[in-house]
Every structure is written in C-alpha cells, then in structure tokens.
Structure 1
C-alpha cells in the first residue's frame, strides 16, 4: 500500500519535471503550476484591496 503511494508520488514528480518549449522559452510543468498559484494569490489579494467591502 505505501509503496503504491510512493510510486504515485514518483510518477507525479516525473510528470511535473517534463519540459516543453514555446516560442523559444523552455518551461516545466512545475514552473507553470507555481506561476498559476502565485498569480491567483496575488490576484485575489489585489481584488480584495481594490474591490473588497
């Protein structure tokens, strides 16, 4: 059971490490995921600052 969980985590880390190139820029899925998460947090903070009650 625990080895299956470890295998799942290993597969996920390998999948997120895949790099791809768009218009000459190379990204990994980790970079895209982290950028999306940080952008969402910053966007939410700015939304609350400017449009919050």
Structure 2
C-alpha cells in the first residue's frame, strides 16, 4: 500500500518531532498527551491509502 508513499510518510513522521519535544519538556509525562496525535494521523493515512488501493 505504501509503494511510492514512503518518502511522504517519512516527512510526516519528521513533522511530529516538535510534538515529541514538547511532550518531553514536561518530564516525559506530556508524551502521554502527545502520542494520540501522530497515531490518529497515521490511522487517517492508512484509511486514505486503503481507499486509494481499492480503486
């Protein structure tokens, strides 16, 4: 499903570095509040790619 999309997914992962740093600022407890954002984004990417593959 990710054929031709790997670079885009890598850039997407890099875009969350700021969020991870922000969560780490709060003695790593803040990461609990930050982790749902990248996970939800990756879930949406999966749904989009899944629909694209069905075509």
Q: TM-score range by the shorter chain?
A: 0.3 to 0.5
TM-score (norm. length: structure 1): 0.42
Q: Which has the higher contact order (CA 8 A, sep 6+)?
A: 2
**Going by fraction, where is strand more abundant, 1 or 2?**
1
**CA radius of gyration, larger in:** 1
